[in-house]
Amino acid sequence: MNRLWLWAAVVASVLGIHPRMSAAQMKGSIFGPGTRSYPVAVALLKNLSGPTAADVATRFADIVGRDLTLSGYFKILDRSAYIEKSEASGYTPDSINFDSWSVIGALALVKGAYTLQGDNLTLEVRLFDVYQRRQLSGRRYHGPVSELRRMANKFADEIIGQFTGDRGPFDSRFAFVSTRDGKFKEIYVMSPDEGDLQQITRNQTLNVSPSWSPDSRSLLYTSYKRRNPDLFLIDLISGRETLLSQRPGLNLGAKMSPDGTKIAVTVEDDGNADVVLLDRSGKVIRRLTDSWAIDVSPSWSPDGKQIAFCSNRAGGPQIYVISADGGDARRITFSGNYNTSPAWSPKGDLIAYVSRSEGEFNVFTVKVDGSAPRQLTQAAGNNEDPSWGPDGRYMVFSSSRTGRRKLFITDVTGGSQVQLTHGGGDDTSPAWSRWLE
Amino acid sequence: MGKRLLSVAVVGLLVAVLGGGCSAKKKGTQAGTEGSGVGEEGLAGGGSLEQYKAGTLGSGEQGPLQDVHFAFDSFELDESGRGVLRENGNWLKDHARAKVEVEGHCDERGTVEYNLALGAKRARAAKDYLVTLGISPDHLTTISYGEELPLCHEHTEECWAKNRRAHFVVVSE
């Protein structure tokens, strides 16, 4: 397998903002829970490079619009309503007719221009406050035209950062398991705007539990392609695959430590699942759990010092936390008799998990000390497999609310739940990468 | 490898369609002869994953050994399960050279990874009971498929109950 996907360097620089126009004073002031449809116009980029067949302008606007919609905070105004045409207008504060944007209801405006020379793309993009007629942010991106999607995802993250105070999560990738191409569970990778979809496995067996290396370059996953459920590591840039663990029985649910040096994985001894730590070559460093009970689904704390996991040592499955050096496990879930799939937030404060009650499975969060369990999904089918975005604010999860299992994004309040994947088949076990650089 | 897999799947399908009552034994024999040639894939012919590939999973012939069933989120053998295992044990005593793979399965409810671990527990519980009946552990291997290979696809308790099973595949006789 050759190179699966590659991100080249996207060089970004900040465009000058007038000193009086402090964006900082805006941050966090516009948005709070409950305000979720801030109207934004995303104008087509102006073409500065003469006639070209590339649909840079449309693609950029579509991807930014899609990301902002996924965030749950914005409403993208229909492009056909825009009065000011990109090719006939400017993209600096003094050359924009702000009245023509406020009259269609836009409170924020994205405008800019691009230059395409051969394969080299330069974007200059700005975010404006329409009411105050001022620039909130500006960025210049330079790189190969194949990186247009990343430039758009980066600017969407910048817009979200301007309005909420925290950078958005969309300059990233999802890995997930899907039956979209047939009856076999294969692993796919895609961009958050549902673009750049790539099928990673094609072995027509069972492939489960993809997870990212912290550098967002490699995937760990478990496959039955050699019949036993073995653990593999695939480098998505070189395409090189390594068989990391092939103990008889399960080699399952592996997660790389935040520093990339260790791998926590579930292995099986005499039918019993325990969590062990491997080094990068697959050699066992130490056993973390050694009980008669099922111990599965390790998830690292962001400082790499602790690991959350699921164990049925008290009867039904519950969430526990253990030091990465071993020792005693501390139970942190106490409501319900079926709590699984822990996912430790990259901010460190919360652990997401799945809880069963009244026959339904829902996504919850709990503080690391076990306090304040909070239900994020309800009365919308079964909701499982939470995985945090790089910002620690958004999560991706799978839900059967529309029939087949699809991926959805929610923020940490559960207040905005937006469908991420569409089409046929079941999409499950999503893993959200860190930011790409 | 892809063509080889396909041809094995097609053979399996033909055997299942044409073979009638003998299909399980034929598939078992086939597994024994195919095993070395297929190399790493190690197809067991009559295993649930191979049946799933061939499109025959849940569509008929169970083989000489019966499934053992479990309660939700449980790997405990009940009296009925132990009864099935005693019958399976008798068959194994009559076929002393037979090698059997015990598969652990779960219903669709719950988490993929937890269910894979639960399936391993179910397979192990069935194997351990057969060993207490005098079957050599060397003749019994286990594998878990969790909730991945259901026999029945409706979202009903009746269907789930069928899927919560330890399944026995005669790998060679």
* Residue-range domains of chain A with CATH: 11-164 (3.40.50.10070), 174-432 (2.120.10.30)
Residue A206 contacts residue A197 (beta carbons within 8 Å) = no
pLDDT tens for each residue of A222-248: 999 999 999 999 999 999 999 999 999
Pair B101, B75 in one domain: yes
Interface A–B counts its CB contacts (< 8 A) at 106
Please give the Cα distance from B149 to B106 (Å, whole number): 8
pLDDT at site A184:
94
- Please tell me which of the candidates B44, B111, B144 has its beta carbon nearest to residue A341: B111
Please give the Cα distance from B101 to A210 (Å, whole number): 27
Question: Chain B: residue nearest A337 by CA?
Answer: B73
**Mean pLDDT within B116-135:** 97
pLDDT at site A27:
41
Pair B49, B74 in one domain: no
Question: Chain A: residue nearest B125 by CA?
Answer: A271
Pair B47, B92 in one domain: no
Here the tokens at position A358 are 């009244």
Three-class DSSP labels, A250-308: CEEEEEECCCCCEEEEEEEECCEEEEEEEECCCCEEEECCCCCCCEEEEEECCCCCEEE
Q: What is the domain-level CATH number for residue B92?
A: 3.30.1330.60
Pair B81, B133 in one domain: yes
Q: Say whether A208 and B112 touch across the interface (CB within 8 A).
A: yes
Please give the Cα distance from A164 to A108 (Å, whole number): 14
Residues of B contacting chain A (CB within 8 angstroms)? 5, 40-44, 49, 52-53, 73, 109-114, 116-118, 120-121, 123-125, 127-128, 142-145, 148-149
Pair B83, B42 in one domain: no
* Probe site for chain A from B49, B73, B111, B142 (most A CB atoms < 10 A): B111
Q: Say whether B117 and A429 touch across the interface (CB within 8 A).
A: no
Residues of A contacting chain B (CB within 8 angstroms)? 183, 185, 204-206, 208-209, 224-229, 249-250, 252-253, 266, 268, 270-273, 294-297, 310, 312, 316-317, 338, 340-341, 354, 356, 361, 382, 384-385, 428-429
Pair B124, B98 in one domain: yes
- Answer yes or no: is B60 within a domain: no
Pair B29, B77 in one domain: no
Q: Collect all residues of chain B within an 8 Å Cβ-Cβ radius of residue A204.
A: 5, 53
pLDDT at site A379:
87
ipTM of the complex: 0.91
pTM: 0.88
Here the tokens at position B82 are 């132990």
A244 burial (CB, 10 Å; 0-12 / 13-18 / 19+) is buried
Structural domain harbouring B153: 68-172
Pair B96, B166 in one domain: yes
- Answer yes or no: is B33 within a domain: yes
- Answer yes or no: is B124 within a domain: yes
Q: What is the DSSP string of B59-107?
A: SS---SS--EE--TT-----HHHHHHHHHHHHHHHHSTT-EEEEEEE--
Here the tokens at position B43 are 């197809």
- Answer yes or no: is B76 within a domain: yes
Pair B156, B119 in one domain: yes
**Closest approach of chain B CAs to the CA of A247, in angstroms?**
12
- Answer yes or no: is B62 within a domain: no
Q: Collect all residues of chain B within an 8 Å Cβ-Cβ radius of residue A205.
A: 49, 53
**Per-residue pLDDT for B15 more than 50?**
no
**Closest approach of chain B CAs to the CA of A167, in angstroms?**
31
- Answer yes or no: is B63 within a domain: no
Mean pLDDT of successive 10-residue stretches along chain A, which has 437 residues: 51 61 41 66 92 85 95 94 90 93 96 94 96 95 94 97 95 97 95 92 96 97 97 95 96 97 95 96 94 95 98 96 96 96 97 95 97 94 97 97 95 91 95 94
Pair B159, B75 in one domain: yes
Q: Provide the number of structural domains found in chain B.
A: 2
Question: Chain A: residue nearest B104 by CA?
Answer: A271
Q: Say whether B114 and A228 touch across the interface (CB within 8 A).
A: no
- Answer yes or no: is B118 within a domain: yes
pLDDT tens for each residue of A54-91: 699 999 999 999 999 999 999 999 999 999 998 888 89
Pair B37, B89 in one domain: no
**Closest approach of chain A CAs to the CA of B96, in angstroms?**
23
Pair B103, B167 in one domain: yes
- Answer yes or no: is B115 within a domain: yes
Beta strands A38-42 and A74-76 are parallel
Please give the Cα distance from A159 to A127 (Å, whole number): 7
Chain-centroid distance of CA A247 in Å reads: 31
